[in-house]
Amino acid sequence: MQSFLDPAILFFIFGILAGALKSNLEIPAPISRFLSLYLLMALGLKGGFALAKSGLTMEVSVTLGLALLLAVLVPALGYLTLRRFLSGFDAAAIAATYGSVSAVSFITATQYLNNHDIDYGGHMAAAMALMESPAIIIAVLLANWVRQKQRGSQGAAAVAGAAKTQDASLGKILHESLTDGAQLLLMGAMVVGLVSGAAGEAAMKPFSIDLFKGMLAFFLLDMGLLAARNMGGLKAQSPWLIAYALGAPLVHASVALGLALLFGVSAGNTALLMVLAASASYIAVPAVIRHAIPEANPSLYFGMSLGITFPFNILLGIPLYTAVAQRVVG
């Protein structure tokens, strides 16, 4: 219950209520974009400052390795599950959405850990960046495989021509996903924090620490409004998809917990790994998938991630994952 009294979470709830009431309250798109970039920059700086203090330790290397492993396991599990009751294209798109990560969920989780004095490593911001792209790559490869199966009856020449086009498309998607502006800003800010160290931390404290809480609350208000407006489109969807949107985060978080426990990751880093594994992208991945897999239905992967999974993780998931990590890992 204490987590619901956090001002940032209360603004998120307020945004959902305002959206449900069909209020004309709206955060202009340029301001929303600025807020997201600010949060990523501040997070990157804080991660870089923390890394400058701790250095490259064994736990840092292990945790980053686990993040990459989860970035492959989660979309693979998602596709195998979803393919049983969806088309290959929809299954690939949703698997990519849930295989990637939500930066806002991660940022909210770091604030939650800070509020409860739970230590975590600054390198977890790098883990988040590493987990964003693999799911997109896997989904594009799966979609290309489905297309090739569908074109199998068109003859070898047609298949070869289609494969050539798809390879070019895959190269473009790889470039877009690896050079995404938000991801580059996060990594660049982390490098700046790492290089500038303690002196940079003192200089940037008013920007990266003092303003952070208020900016997060403002951004979560906007996310609450957006989430409420995407919930209505899910009413006609299959109950299986609703169940997946709620159950998949718990399964993915459990996989992350098991791996973290096996490799001796600390409680704070375990909680963040669970949040990352449980989260679903609703900005970067849908934007890429809409062009990379046009055959998929955007209302499915976008509506599920933003309308169900994101509110679930913000309101219930983060406190749950943190409590479980503390109880199991200690």
> Rounded to an integer, what distance in angstroms lies between the CA atom of residue 73 and that of residue 68?
9
Q: Which of 129-138, 178-187, 289-298 bottoms out in mean pLDDT, i.e. has the lowest? A: 178-187
Q: Quote the pLDDT of residue 133.
A: 80
Rounded to an integer, what is the distance from CA 304 to the centroid of its chain?
Answer: 13
Compute the chain's Rg from CA coordinates. 20
pLDDT above 70 (res 214): yes
The answer to whether 305 and 281 are in contact (CB under 8 A) is yes
**Domain 34-329 listed as CATH 1.20.1530.20:** yes
Which pair of tokens denotes residue 44? 């990157």
> If you search the block for the tokens 């997201």, which residue do you land on?
36
According to the model, what pLDDT value does residue 326 have? 95
Tell me the domain boundaries of the chain.
34-329
Torsion angle defined by CA atoms of residues 107, 113, 119 and 125, in that order, rounded to the nearest 10 degrees? -10
In this predicted structure, the answer to whether residue 44 has a pLDDT above a threshold of 50 is yes
Residue with tokens 């209302």: 299
Of residues 155 and 187, more confidence is placed in: 187
pLDDT for 84-114, tens place per residue? Answer: 988 889 999 999 999 999 989 999 999 999 9
pTM: predicted TM-score of the whole model, two decimal places? 0.83
Give mean pLDDT, residues 41-46: 87
pLDDT in tens, 120-160: 988 898 888 888 888 888 888 888 888 887 776 555 444 44
Can you read off the two tokens belonging to residue 245?
């949107």
Of 270 and 235, more confident: 270
- Longest CA–CA separation in the chain, Å: 65
What is the pLDDT of the chain when averaged over all its residues?
A: 85
Determine the pLDDT at residue 292: 78
Judge residue 99's burial from the number of C-beta atoms within 10 Å of its C-beta, 0-12 exposed, 13-18 middle, 19 or more buried. Answer: buried
% of the chain surpassing 90 pLDDT: 40
Q: How far apart are CA 257 and CA 255, in angstroms?
A: 5
